[in-house]
Amino acid sequence: MALSPLLTDLYQLTMLYAYFKSGKTQTASFELFVRELPKNRNYLVFAGLRDVVNFIENLSFSKEDIDYLYSLNLFPDDFLDFLKDFRFTGNLWALKEGEIFFQCEPVLRVEAPIYEAQLLETALMNQVHVASLLASKGARIYSVSKGKALADFSLRRTHGSDAGMKAAYSSYLVGFVGTSNVLAGKELKIPVIGTVAHSFIMAFENEKEAFKAYLKAFPDRGILLIDTYDTLMGLKNAIEASRETGIPLKGVRLDSGDVVELSKKVREILNEEGFKDCKIIVSGGLDEYEIDKILKEGAPVDAFGVGTKFGTSSDSPYIDFVYKLVEFDGRPVMKTSSGKEMFPGRKQVYRQSEKDLITLWDEKGEGEPLLEKVIEGGNLIKRLPTLRESREYFLDRFNSIPQELKNIYVEKEYPVYFSKELLKLKRELEKEIKEIKWKGRK
Amino acid sequence: MALSPLLTDLYQLTMLYAYFKSGKTQTASFELFVRELPKNRNYLVFAGLRDVVNFIENLSFSKEDIDYLYSLNLFPDDFLDFLKDFRFTGNLWALKEGEIFFQCEPVLRVEAPIYEAQLLETALMNQVHVASLLASKGARIYSVSKGKALADFSLRRTHGSDAGMKAAYSSYLVGFVGTSNVLAGKELKIPVIGTVAHSFIMAFENEKEAFKAYLKAFPDRGILLIDTYDTLMGLKNAIEASRETGIPLKGVRLDSGDVVELSKKVREILNEEGFKDCKIIVSGGLDEYEIDKILKEGAPVDAFGVGTKFGTSSDSPYIDFVYKLVEFDGRPVMKTSSGKEMFPGRKQVYRQSEKDLITLWDEKGEGEPLLEKVIEGGNLIKRLPTLRESREYFLDRFNSIPQELKNIYVEKEYPVYFSKELLKLKRELEKEIKEIKWKGRK
């Protein structure tokens, strides 16, 4: 379902009306980018394009929306009539879904009559932010996983339902194998994963009875949670339950305690008892630091279920995306608010060998251009890749970035250069604004 | 719109089927609580009850949901038939919306046939988590605001659309005066607030022209953003624009720079120029620490717009809520996983003078009982308060908690006691489980 056009900041609508009233309909270009990467992030992963396109294609005000705006006593009737037929008629450029990006690089550019381009800001930012935030956190977790399977278990503690869907989506994009979120399975066709909780065990007379009941219900997916009372006793009960029912034990899950120590012991017992094929799954409070530690200490874990710390990107819970006007009516623009510098003009990003170059759009840079046109005149002009295709794309791109960026313990800045033309334009505009300030202050 | 019943972890459905297959239909009680408060939080604010009730009342599987579950090849037809008619038939107890709560205190209890109660877990946690997380962060901001107006500007950087709605809701609940989120204005009847962005200024020939255009569009709401190029030059242009149009300047907004220094200077100039009634609004990277600092340094700010750090609860981006089985078929239960202790049995919380007491449900404690029955036999049995009523309730309760808890710089634990009966029951169950373990290990 498309987002409501009212999922926006009020000032987008008051500006829209002020543009309407002053007859401002010239073409504007806005770019979405990050000035500096957040702490603990040496790279970011672009995600959310499908939601952006879906929002843009379906952007229109319903009768109830117009009635609500009318009730605010802010807007005159002729403007509300204008909103009734509002559609996006402009162009959109974007990085490919799953692309790796860095500081100052535009991930989207919107080009449209200024009131249309402005109106997109809040929803675009909201959607790209959460999807890219979680993809970027997920990529760090993937980077330490040494080929072990990762599953998204975060839904219960993501910031609401939309974030829960994005967590499933973005984690699969960056190499996870599935999610516990059933709705994401249905709507995004992501493999769904899950077995039992502690409450299930507690609802039976004893642990072994609970295990037997679960094995009988899912004879092909016999994965049991063994730490409700005591992990090693749980393992013994799981083995007995498997033997007594004749149903194979496919896996055991550990959700608490010293999982390095316990997983080694569990593996040893499983092997001794003839359960060599039984997998060990670990969950509970995991993130890239914890998984890295567990694997480096030689824990024989086959899969990890990753929850809260992934689903809230807890060590760095936001990215300072900004959506800035870079060109208006053919003229490059910039603001100079203190601490908020930016580069003027429409830009392109070129990926070169272990560095990126940002140029003005009309220059020809060397390397691989990253922004491509997705929407023209309000219409999608290319098939968007499926999530599986984007996942392949991410995995390929992630392979090719410098290894040192993937060290989760060290902050390292990837080199992003600016073309001479772009630097010259910035200097010229800075000079121009300084002169205006000089005159303005007198 | 109600949440999908598939917005859940797969294991809720696999457990449901295992209960179905083993004929487990006994009554279970689950309680939702927090073992320890998160860092930087001396209290939490309960929010999200309306979404929980809405989810429970509308819980049913659509044909598409059943078709998807069928496609997973996990569940037999008789179970899917059973799901078609699934409804919640149990009871719900909850704190009042806007209640202050502490470690170990149940905020909700669900009592129902175990498969029904289990199925609610993920969605309940997802919704109560984000609403309470943001209410708790918002309350800290409110606690330092010294009566200045606070507005929620977080939508662009919340974790998705649902979190954006919860940010507007929860901030209003804890004393904010409005939100920039227009959809929240429409759906939750929260006052909406907003003026212009930097891009608006940049789209005009010069700053003064932009200001005049905006004043003409909103002659009753002349609030101008003055830091696009240079704050003091912006102020001069704003004053001139007001004089030249004859439209009063209601406020100026500062979004960058040293706002303490600048706001003092801006106030001085406004007063000198005869704009004594013009308000000063500050935004940009604010949280409770920043606002406290700004006000303590004597900045003459009238209102604050609070964004990203509030909307992501950035210093403490999750709360470890858990939903635990506490009674099954009339028998109190608990798990003993390492580091995850809990209290067995159905409980009540009593608020006493500057301390709380947790008892077993059937005891009679002293003080004010906090949990009340909301849903009985699947039906809502009392009118839920409006958001405005809950806001009043919060403000009243917040007034009455010890002042030292509101010190944002010092962690302080509020005393929560347990009744003798409850402690005795816990000891007995621990002993029982230890004996089982002893036997189990042999």
Cβ distance B185 to A121 less than 8 Å, yes or no, reads no
pLDDT at residue A434, as a whole number? 80
Which residue of A126, A196, A317 is in closest CB contact with B161? A126
Cβ distance B15 to A183 less than 8 Å, yes or no, reads no
* B64 interface with A at CB cutoff 8 Å: yes
* A125 interface with B at CB cutoff 8 Å: yes
Q: Compute the nearest-CA separation of A278 from chain B (Å).
A: 19
Between CA A316 and CA A288 the distance in angstroms is: 13
pLDDT at residue A315, as a whole number? 97
Q: What is the pLDDT of residues B147-165, one digit of tens each?
A: 999 999 999 999 999 999 9
* B247 interface with A at CB cutoff 8 Å: no
* A260 interface with B at CB cutoff 8 Å: no
Q: Compute the nearest-CA separation of A40 from chain B (Å).
A: 14
* B62 interface with A at CB cutoff 8 Å: no
Cβ distance A196 to B127 less than 8 Å, yes or no, reads no
Q: What is the pLDDT of residues B171-230, one digit of tens each?
A: 999 999 999 999 999 999 999 998 888 989 988 989 999 999 999 999 998 899 999 889
* B213 interface with A at CB cutoff 8 Å: yes
Beta bridge partners of A43: none
Set of chain B residues whose Cβ sits within 8 Å of the Cβ of A4: 183
Residue ranges covered by each domain of chain B? 10-135+316-441, 144-311
**Fold classified for A148-311:** TIM Barrel (3.20.20)
Residue B66 predicted with pLDDT over 80:
yes
Q: Compute the nearest-CA separation of A192 from chain B (Å).
A: 7
Residue A154 predicted with pLDDT over 80:
yes
* B324 interface with A at CB cutoff 8 Å: yes
Residue A163 predicted with pLDDT over 60:
yes
* B218 interface with A at CB cutoff 8 Å: yes
Q: Compute the nearest-CA separation of A89 from chain B (Å).
A: 19
Q: What is the pLDDT of residues A83-101, one digit of tens each?
A: 999 999 999 999 999 999 9
Q: Which H helix or E strand runs over A12?
A: helix A10-22
Q: Which residues contact B135 (CB under 8 A, 6 or more apart)?
A: B45, B46, B47, B98, B170, B171, B173, B174, B394
Between CA A369 and CA B60 the distance in angstroms is: 49
List all residues of chain B from 266 to 285 with a beta carbon under 8 Å from chain A: none
ipTM exceeds 0.85, yes or no = yes
pLDDT at residue B441, as a whole number? 54
Tokens for A115?
């009131």
Beta strands B303-306 and B355-360 are unpaired
Tokens 């073309």 correspond to what residue?
A419
Averaged pLDDT for residues A138-160: 98
Which residue of A4, A256, A324 is in closest CB contact with B338? A256
Q: Chain B residue with minimal CA distance to A113? A: B203
Cβ distance B257 to A195 less than 8 Å, yes or no, reads no
Between B263 and A430, the more confident residue is B263
Cβ distance B7 to A155 less than 8 Å, yes or no, reads yes
Q: Using CB atoms within 10 A of its CB, is residue B69 exposed (0-12), middle (13-18) or buried (19+)? A: buried
Set of chain B residues whose Cβ sits within 8 Å of the Cβ of A158: 126, 130, 159
Tokens 């509970």 correspond to what residue?
A284
A-B Cβ pairs (cutoff 8 Å, strict): 382
Between CA A226 and CA A230 the distance in angstroms is: 7
**Chosen from A80, A132, A137, A199 to mutate, greatest number of chain B CBs within 10 A:** A199
Set of chain A residues whose Cβ sits within 8 Å of the Cβ of B159: 129-130, 133, 158-160, 162-163, 166, 312, 317
pLDDT at residue A438, as a whole number? 66
Between CA B291 and CA B282 the distance in angstroms is: 9
Between CA A121 and CA A110 the distance in angstroms is: 9
CA A393 vs CA A45, A47, A397, A399, A402: distances in Å: 11, 12, 6, 10, 17
* B19 interface with A at CB cutoff 8 Å: yes
Tokens for B406?
């509101």
Q: What is the pLDDT of residues B309-368, one digit of tens each?
A: 999 999 999 999 999 999 999 999 987 766 677 899 999 999 999 999 999 999 989 999
pLDDT bracket for residue A339 (50, 70, 90): low
Cβ distance B161 to A162 less than 8 Å, yes or no, reads yes
| 8 A C-beta contact, residue A83 and residue A66 | yes
* B51 interface with A at CB cutoff 8 Å: no
Averaged pLDDT for residues A154-175: 98
Tokens for B160?
């998705």
Cβ distance B15 to A182 less than 8 Å, yes or no, reads no
List all residues of chain A from 349 to 388 with a beta carbon under 8 Å from chain B: none
Set of chain A residues whose Cβ sits within 8 Å of the Cβ of B154: none
Averaged pLDDT for residues A371-385: 97
What's the CATH number of domain B10-135+316-441, 3.40.630.30, 3.40.50.80, 3.20.140.10, 3.30.70.580? 3.20.140.10
Averaged pLDDT for residues B415-425: 97
Q: Compute the nearest-CA separation of A322 from chain B (Å).
A: 9
* B122 interface with A at CB cutoff 8 Å: yes
Q: Compute the nearest-CA separation of A432 from chain B (Å).
A: 11
Between CA B269 and CA B260 the distance in angstroms is: 15
List all residues of chain B from 102 to 121 with a beta carbon under 8 Å from chain A: 114, 118, 121
pLDDT at residue B334, as a whole number? 85
* B45 interface with A at CB cutoff 8 Å: no
Q: Chain B residue with minimal CA distance to A314? A: B317
Q: Compute the nearest-CA separation of A354 from chain B (Å).
A: 30
Set of chain A residues whose Cβ sits within 8 Å of the Cβ of B7: 155, 161, 164, 181-183
CATH code 3.50.50.60 for B144-311: no
Residue type, B1: M
What rounded mean pLDDT belongs to chain A? 95
Between CA B183 and CA B189 the distance in angstroms is: 9
Residue A66 predicted with pLDDT over 70:
yes
Residue A266 predicted with pLDDT over 90:
yes
Averaged pLDDT for residues A306-318: 98
* A440 interface with B at CB cutoff 8 Å: yes
Cβ distance A9 to B156 less than 8 Å, yes or no, reads yes
| 8 A C-beta contact, residue B163 and residue B47 | no
C-alpha torsion sign, points B66, B71, B74, B76: positive
Cβ distance B229 to A335 less than 8 Å, yes or no, reads yes
**Fold classified for A10-134+316-441:** nicotinate phosphoribosyltransferase (3.20.140)
Cβ distance B338 to A21 less than 8 Å, yes or no, reads no
- Model pTM? 0.97
* A216 interface with B at CB cutoff 8 Å: yes
Instruction: Tell me the backbone φ, ψ of residue B104, rounded to 5 degrees.
Output: 70, 0
Which residue of B3, B125, B312 is in closest CB contact with A318? B312
Between CA B91 and CA A180 the distance in angstroms is: 27
